[in-house]
């Protein structure tokens, strides 16, 4: 099991510090684990699961949404 610092979570998800904290508080993103000396970290497998769930949600939604592709992009 690996614990990630906030900077690592930000890089892995491309979310901002504020988005991670707000979504964690709202139950929409994994909560941090309290460590020591007022430090906290995120369990990497939980962050990875959140990313996988986001991809699955996107793929389910794509059934009812038109997806942009290079074939449909007019460069003229």
**Model confidence pTM above 0.75:** yes
Using 50, 70 and 90 to split pLDDT, how confident is the model at 61?
A: confident
Instruction: Determine the Cα–Cα distance for residues 20 and 37; give it in Å rounded to an integer.
Output: 21
pLDDT band at 37 (very low <50, low <70, confident <90, very high): very high
Q: Provide mean pLDDT across the span 14-23.
A: 97
Token pair 């074939």 in the structure block, residue? 71
42 CB burial (10 A radius; 0-12, 13-18, 19+): buried
CA 2 – CA 42 distance, rounded (Å): 8
Of the candidates 52, 55, 30, the residue with the CA atom closest to the CA atom of residue 43: 30
pLDDT band for 24, please (50, 70, 90 cuts): very high
pLDDT at site 8: 98
| pLDDT mean over 44-54 | 97
């Amino acid at each position: 099991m690996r614990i990630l610092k906030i900077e690592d979570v930000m890089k892995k998800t491309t979310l901002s510090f504020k988005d991670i904290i707000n979504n964690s508080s709202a139950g929409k993103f994994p909560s941090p684990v309290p460590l020591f000396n007022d430090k906290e970290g995120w369990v990497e497998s939980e962050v990875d699961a959140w990313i996988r769930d986001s991809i699955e949600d996107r793929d389910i939604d794509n059934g009812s949404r038109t997806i942009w592709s290079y074939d449909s992009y007019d460069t003229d």
